[in-house]
Chains A and B, each alone.
Chain A
Amino acid sequence: AQSVTQLGSHVSVSEGALVLLRCNYSSSVPPYLFWYVQYPNQGLQLLLKYTSAATLVKGINGFEAEFKKSETSFHLTKPSAHMSDAAEYFCAVITGFQKLVFGTGTRLLVSP
């Protein structure tokens, strides 16, 4: 069964520093992978998705993720953190019939 594992329940960075949120997947077939973001008191919104086209995927708000089959990873990065990036981030993989399986989430804390 397809699944994702997010390493680190909390990540703290300073404003302007690199953001790296880790996600590893397990899948017996080529996966479709997603990153969603949840701002406080809001629902989830899509940041970016990998659907077997380009391995480097660019999303909204300056985020990007690289699909690495050899490492079974789909890490999320942003070169320079902004205070407004503070949120919870979820990696997800799609199973049959558009059922998303989510990771446990990583809360990003950004300090001035």
Chain B
Amino acid sequence: DADVTQTPRNRITKTGKRIMLECSQTKGHDRMYWYRQDPGLGLRLIYYSFDVKDINKGEISDGYSVSRQAQAKFSLSLESAIPNQTALYFCATASASGADGELFFGEGSRLTVL
């Protein structure tokens, strides 16, 4: 089983619909992140969380919200999806205690908004 699991892996939805992408991890890490990948733009940080009570905005948080339900779970929501939110979304985790910044990624959730 993967250490960082994202669901769904693929989703097609319509403009205006609410969408939730879920991430769970078995690595025991405190830090969790949501990134968005677009061709030619690399990965951009949406939100990050250092523990259950800590949520922080990244560089492109507008139109997104997150929930840290437990140490192992971090969900990303699009309250009213729009076509320019079509992208590949990655969840990642990191240990607070070291590893000099290494992030561990899930396999991604591909979202298409029509």
Residues of A within 8 A of B (CB): 6, 9, 32, 34, 41-46, 49, 51, 90, 94, 97-105
Task: Say yes or no: A98 contacts B31, CB within 8 Å.
Answer: yes
- From A32, A34, A99, B45 is in contact (CB under 8 Å) with A99
CB distance from A96 to the nearest CB of B (A): 10
The answer to whether A104 touches B40, judged by C-beta atoms less than 8 angstroms apart, is yes
B22, CB-defined interface residue at 8 Å: no
Whether B4 lies near A49 (C-beta < 8 A) is no
Q: Does B12 contact A (CB under 8 A)?
A: no
Q: Are B101 and A32 in contact (CB under 8 A)?
A: yes
Where chain B touches its partner, the secondary structure class is strand
- Let me know if A94 and B101 touch, CB within 8 A: yes
List 4 A-B pairs, minimum CB-CB distance, nearest first.
A43-B105, A94-B101, A102-B42, A104-B42
**What are 8 contact pairs spanning A and B, CB under 8 A?**
A43-B4, A43-B92, A46-B102, A90-B43, A98-B103, A99-B33, A99-B45, A100-B45
Whether A41 lies near B107 (C-beta < 8 A) is: yes
Residues of A within 8 A of B107 (CB): 41-43
For A42, A94, A99, which residue has the most chain B Cβ atoms within 10 angstroms?
A: A99
User: In the bound complex, do residue B42 and residue A105 qualify as a contact, i.e. CB atoms below 8 Å apart?
Assistant: yes
Minimum C-beta distance from B110 to chain A (A)? 9
Range, interface on chain B? 20 to 34
Q: How far, in Å, is A85 (CB) from chain B's closest CB? A: 19
Supplied contacts A42-B107, A102-B42, 20 more A-B pairs, CB within 8 Å = A6-B42, A34-B101, A41-B108, A42-B108, A43-B90, A43-B106, A44-B43, A44-B92, A44-B103, A90-B43, A94-B101, A98-B101, A99-B48, A100-B45, A100-B103, A101-B45, A102-B35, A102-B43, A104-B40, A104-B41
- B50 on interface, CB distance cutoff 8 Å: yes
Give the chain A neighbours of B44 by CB distance below 8 A: 102
Interface flags, B54-83, vs A, CB<8A=1, else 0: 000010000000000000000000000000
